[in-house]
Chain A
Amino acid sequence: MNVSGFIFQALNGLSSASGLFFVAAGLSLIFGVTRIVNIAHGSLYMLGTYVAYSLATKIGGGFGFWGGIVITACLVGLLGAAIEFVLLRRIYRAPELFQLLATFALILIINDATLWLWGPEDLLGPRAPGMRDAIEIFGRRLPTYDLFLIVIAPVVLWILHLGLARTRFGRLVRAATQDREMVGALGVNQAMLFTAVFALGSFLAGLGGALQVAREPANLAMDLTVIGDAFVVVVVGGMGSITGAYLAAVIIAEVKALCIAIGTVSMFGMSLNFSKFTLVAEFLVMAAVLIARPYGLLGRPQGAVRGVADPEDPMRPATPALKFLGVVVLGALMAMPLMAQSSPYVLILGIDVMIAVLFAASLHFIMGPGGMHSFGHAAYFGLGAYGAALLVKWLAAPMGLALLAAPITALLGALLFGWFAVRLSGVYLAMLTLAFAQIVWAAVFQWEDLTGGSNGVIGVWPPAPFSNSSVYFILVLLLTVIGVLALRRILFAPFGYAMRAGRDSPLRAEAIGIDVKRVHWLGFAIAGLVCGVAGGLFAFAKGSISPETIGVGRSIDGLVMVLLGGIQTLTGPIVGASVFAVLQDTIMRQTEYWRALLGLIILLLVMAFPAGIVGGVINLLRRWRTAS
């Protein structure tokens, strides 16, 4: 490829950077002031494209298009303010993860609302009035509208910059980004400030989405794609830095454009298609930046948020009552195959629930006692599932061997990724784990010769006697119980104490001789190992697996399960996973709009049980006891 081609791709990269910059800048502003990572920010972007499409086609003409873009941005800004006012305002004092859960519920609701309003088809807006032509650059045609997008991003950056530097609102935003409590103590109404910042951030997302209307079709997958990219941009640029967001958006878009420009290269007799690496490329950039500069290019260490959530109670060993309850539940589960004659579906659901429990328990192990909020736990589930399935596919390995390979593959992955992850904390760790999960996903998706690509692996059925679902159910039950009890045992061993000490006070833990990073790394690896068992069992339960097994969706499902049950208790993930798996199963079969329904249920639970289901029950019991 020649120089002119590179420059052309570079320009292309710049124009696609603009949309990303708008979402990332909004996300960054909101996070800086409210400390809420709005996962639904991609959904606001998606809404922007849809609304702008409707205005451009319904009203039509120059006003419909250009006026429509401005109106769209304002409408999405208003929606953002409403979301803050109605929902988020109630959960500022909740633990960070609860806020993530609430905004995740919004993704589900907005996505289904969009489906309901606009239907499932992709919608491409009209070309921009006044900018329909293209200009010729090095013999290639670059649409004028793309040039407009290249210019608009730095213009908005400049306006934002001036606004932050010169206005009182801007000064308040900057002050609150550092220490919002002090701003309140100086007489500033934080609630108003938060609503305003949320409106501004949403306005930017809506604007970014609306501007894409003439460039790419509106579709229902935009929300998750965009938020994934925006996370990467914000983390690379540094949380809270708008200039950093622009810089990062440009770097990532350019790296991607470069991959496309290079195309297929033959090296050492192998042909390597770089354009397939775009997915992995941005995450590699992020991993590299985070390792060199843990707070992003222009970010700085986050000041600890003072006294927002209550400190966690210490964990207590199981009471005799709980042990008794556990035995009763176990007995009931063992008896379940007896019911299988009348309703065989119960066993299938039971296996799903059990696998979910093991998955959630392993995630809880690092999230709760370890304090490492992994957003990519699906990676280890997927590694386990593929480790087992591929062994069956290529070597026709027996099930026992495949089920042994599953945790080992997952362990190796967790050891590798965990080594990087434990060097970070908080939101940054969450984003890095997400990035690793995306890399695994992309690798599985793109390495077709080995993994079957999007077709996945089929025909992974358990041999007799496990082909009988009753027998397989007992096997899953056995392994799940062993896994959960082992994790529990570890938490009450000195290693578990060290892990919690490292979470609560890394400096003090190090001062008494605990190698915090090493302990957390091992914890991460143990969680990955157990998660791999769940993945292996999953492969044999379903008979086939696809890249969806590793998708972002599954990582988020895991988070929902853990938070649903309550992160501060050990029984929480078990209850949360069971409730979630059953809910998902029953709701999915009830309605086409199951995502919205699931979202509403999550929101309701977040409002009603801010400590999770188990935490809520414990609080109720406590209140009842003190009252009597």
Chain B
Amino acid sequence: MTAPLLNVENLNASYGAAQILFDLSFEIGRGEVVALMGRNGAGKSTTMKAIMGLMARRGRTTFDGVDISRMRPYEIARRGLGFTPEDRRIFVDLTVMENLDIGRQPPRRFADGTAAPVWTPQRLFTLFPNLGEMPDRPGGGMSGGEQQMLTVARTLMGNPLLVLLDEPSEGVAPLIVEQMANTIVELKKEGLSILLSEQNMHFAELVSDRVYLLEKGQIRWNGTMKELAGNVEIQRNYLTV
């Protein structure tokens, strides 16, 4: 077994005086799609922000063999860690093409020398045909689902090794959810690794290999997606609202 691509050890994070994450430890291997699941407020989004350096955090995080736990967000992004926030944060004044341009980074390689997939707007438009139809539309004039696709595409423009994908199924139409699931499967085939935060069991089941279950900022259970799918008891304890 090779070293994991992302290794998180004892991650703690807090907003002011309120601690949100308590000693999280988990890992993601190369080519894996790992789901981080739990109810609202369990700490899924916070985990991603903390890894990305977008909030105060403690603990040791290594990414592709490099310690990123003290880096600034832009330095982390430049090591090939992509982030798509749950509230999308599209630049509403910028067109689709311009949004993609902001995310653009040079092609990159893993530490061992293998090349990561390289993305261009043309390739992304085959992956998301809707976006290809509106390259000049301002981000503010797009539907929720289209914005969701643009967020993912914008992150892919940085040619990441791993993407932190925060609730891609939230607040978009069922048809788009289906499409998003297909996209993730495609991306996995390309060799991309993904940490997916999700509440929707059906969606997570379609795309993930392994699962970590979060509750009150702590990991309560982990295992393969198959095990979770077969264990109604655990689902009821940590997921059912």
Contact = CB atoms under 8 A, between A and B. Distances in A.
A175 B54 contact: no
Given A185-B73, A186-B154, A187-B74, A171 B94 contact: yes
Interface stretch (B31-39, B95-103, B141-149, B218-226): B95-103
B93 A178 contact: yes
Contact of A186 (B16, B55, B98, B103): B103
B134 interface: no
Contact of A187 (B89, B92, B158): B158
Contacts of A307: 15, 54-55
A142 interface: no
Interface in A580-602: none
Interface stretch (B21-29, B77-85, B180-188, B200-208): B77-85
A307 B56 CA distance: 10
B52 interface: yes
A146 B61 CA distance: 62
A311 B74 CA distance: 24
Instruction: Pick the most buried of A177, A181, A186, A190: most chain B CB atoms within 10 A of its CB.
Output: A186
Contact of B102 (A177, A188, A189, A190): A188
B105 A187 contact: yes
B79 to A, nearest CB: 9
Instruction: Pick the most buried of A181, A184, A310: most chain B CB atoms within 10 A of its CB.
Output: A184
Interface in A123-176: 168, 171-172, 174-175
Contacts of B74: 184-190
Contact of B16 (A175, A181, A311): A311
Contacts of A182: 85, 89, 91
B78 A187 contact: yes
A186 B101 contact: no
A183 interface: yes
A310 to B, nearest CB: 6
Contacts of A515: none
B123 interface: no
Contacts of A186: 74, 77, 102-103, 154-155, 158
A179 B85 CA distance: 12
B205 to A, nearest CB: 29
A174 B77 contact: no
Interface string B162-192: 0000000000000000000000000000000
Instruction: Pick the most buried of B15, B93, B99: most chain A CB atoms within 10 A of its CB.
Output: B93
Contact of B91 (A168, A178, A189, A190): A178
Contacts of B89: 179, 182
Contact of B83 (A171, A185, A190): A185
Contacts of B99: 175
A185 B157 CA distance: 13
A181 B54 contact: yes
Interface in B45-98: 52, 54-55, 72-74, 77-78, 83, 85, 89, 91-94, 98
Contacts of A310: 16
Contacts of A189: 74
Nearest to B80: A187
Contacts of A175: 91, 94, 98-99, 102
A113 to B, nearest CB: 34
A184 B72 contact: yes
A179 B73 contact: no
Interface string B91-121: 1111000110111010000000000000000
A175 B100 CA distance: 11
Instruction: Pick the most buried of B72, B91, B93, B101: most chain A CB atoms within 10 A of its CB.
Output: B91
Nearest to B105: A187
- Which applies to chain A's interface (DSSP): helix, strand, loop or mixed? helix
A174 B102 CA distance: 10
Contacts of A185: 52, 54, 73-74, 77, 83, 85
A461 B214 CA distance: 73
Contacts of A174: 91, 93-94, 98
A178 B72 CA distance: 20
A171 B77 contact: no
A186 B155 CA distance: 7
Given A178-B93, A186-B154, A171 B102 contact: yes
Interface string A277-309: 000000000000000000000000000000100
Contacts of B94: 171, 174-175
A189 B105 CA distance: 12
B128 to A, nearest CB: 18
A223 B155 CA distance: 44
B200 to A, nearest CB: 24
A165 to B, nearest CB: 9
A177 B98 CA distance: 14
A349 to B, nearest CB: 40
A446 B83 CA distance: 59
A185 B160 CA distance: 12
A171 B98 contact: yes
Contacts of A188: 74, 102
Interface in A87-106: none
Given A187-B78, A188-B74, A179 B91 contact: yes
Nearest to B85: A182
Contacts of B78: 187
Contacts of B105: 187
A139 B102 CA distance: 55
Contacts of B91: 174-175, 178-179, 182
Contacts of A168: 101
Contacts of B16: 310-311
Nearest to A193: B74
Interface string A189-233: 110000000000000000000000000000000000000000000
A178 B87 CA distance: 14
Nearest to B139: A178
Contacts of B92: 178
A182 B101 CA distance: 14
A159 B93 CA distance: 19
Nearest to B16: A311
A168 B154 CA distance: 15
Contacts of A171: 94, 98, 101-102
A174 B138 CA distance: 12
A253 to B, nearest CB: 28
B77 A187 contact: yes
A619 to B, nearest CB: 14
Contacts of A172: 102
B27 to A, nearest CB: 22
A307 B53 CA distance: 12
Contacts of A183: 102
Nearest to B72: A184
Interface string A603-618: 0000000000000000
9 closest residue pairs by CB, A with B:
A187-B77, A182-B89, A175-B91, A184-B73, A184-B74, A187-B78, A186-B103, A185-B73, A175-B102
23 contacts: A172-B102, A174-B93, A175-B91, A175-B99, A175-B102, A179-B91, A182-B89, A184-B73, A185-B52, A185-B54, A185-B73, A185-B74, A185-B77, A185-B83, A186-B74, A187-B74, A187-B77, A187-B78, A187-B105, A187-B158, A189-B74, A190-B74, A307-B55
Given A186-B158, A190-B74, 17 more contacts: A171-B102, A174-B91, A174-B93, A175-B99, A178-B93, A181-B54, A183-B102, A184-B72, A184-B73, A185-B83, A185-B85, A186-B74, A187-B105, A188-B102, A189-B74, A307-B55, A311-B16
